[in-house]
Amino acid sequence: MIVRTAFVTGASRGIGQACAEALAASGARVVVAARTIDRCEEVAAGIRSKGGQALAVAIDLSSKESIVQAVAQASKNFGHIHILINNAGITKDGLAVRMKTEDWQSVIDTNLSGSFYASQAVMQGMMKERWGRIINITSVVGQMGNAGQANYVAAKAGLIGLTKSLARELSSRNITVNAVAPGFIATDMTAVLSDEFKQRMLTNIPLARFGASEDIAAAVAFLASEGASYITGHVLDVNGGLYM
């Protein structure tokens, strides 16, 4: 059996951690990448304790140099990267009329440019192997918009366009590129929202519950599998019906 290597950004917690654990459970070697190396080590240790193979690496998605170094470190230990999950993201919310230039730029740099540079860093290896999976974690707000998040929404919408363009460029080498668009998922990022806002959001979700990180991880694991080999350029909505 071929053992694939998966590289997951933002894997120190939440959706990224769940994706790393799901991919490890499916038999992949997993590179757990995030800014906080100590937390990455904890996640990697948890995977290894269950019999999986995992490596923790530090990465700053706002820095192309950091991305290249992290991928090189991963490749030195585990060989070519076969599966890339572009999950890492930040928010710096605020109304557009008052948004600071640095708040706009930092979110675009991390959430969109970082995903592009990470994809670029693994492409040649995938092309050489003639097999690859790139999965971008976008968001329901990248499809429907959201007041107070112009920077975040622009980055997530940009990921959808990036997904479709890369899918066309890489398909001849048996590399699929897809996106998963989570709805309202219970994570540290959403925990800070007010109860009033959460309740209002809940009334708009037909399945009448918030999603879990494992819901996203299950979709990612499927798109990374052989069973999804004829799916590319697709955005898979995992949002409980919030956006149809």
d(CA 171, CA 105): 31
Q: What confidence tens digit (pLDDT) does each residue in 115-150 have?
A: 999 999 999 999 999 999 999 999 999 999 999 999
DSSP per-residue codes, the chain: -PPPEEEEETTTSHHHHHHHHHHHHTT-EEEEEES-HHHHHHHHHHHHHTT--EEEEE--TT-HHHHHHHHHHHHHHH-S--EEEE-------B-GGG--HHHHHHHHIIIIIHHHHHHHHHHHHHHHHT-EEEEEE--THHHH--TTBHHHHHHHHHHHHHHHHHHHHHGGGTEEEEEEEE-SB-SHHHHTS-HHHHHHHHTT-TT-S-B-HHHHHHHHHHHTSGGGTT--S-EEEESTTS--
User: Is 152 among the residues known to form the active site?
Assistant: yes
pLDDT score at 155? 98
Strands 5-9, 29-34: pairing kind: parallel
User: Under CATH, which number does the domain 5-238 receive?
Assistant: 3.40.50.720
Taking residues 161-183, what's their average pLDDT? Answer: 98
CB atoms within 10 A of CB 107: 25
pTM of the full predicted structure?
Answer: 0.96
Mean pLDDT, rounded, of the chain: 96
- pLDDT tens-digit map of 10-52: 999 999 999 999 999 999 999 999 999 999 999 999 999 999 9
Residue 197 has pLDDT above 90, yes or no: no
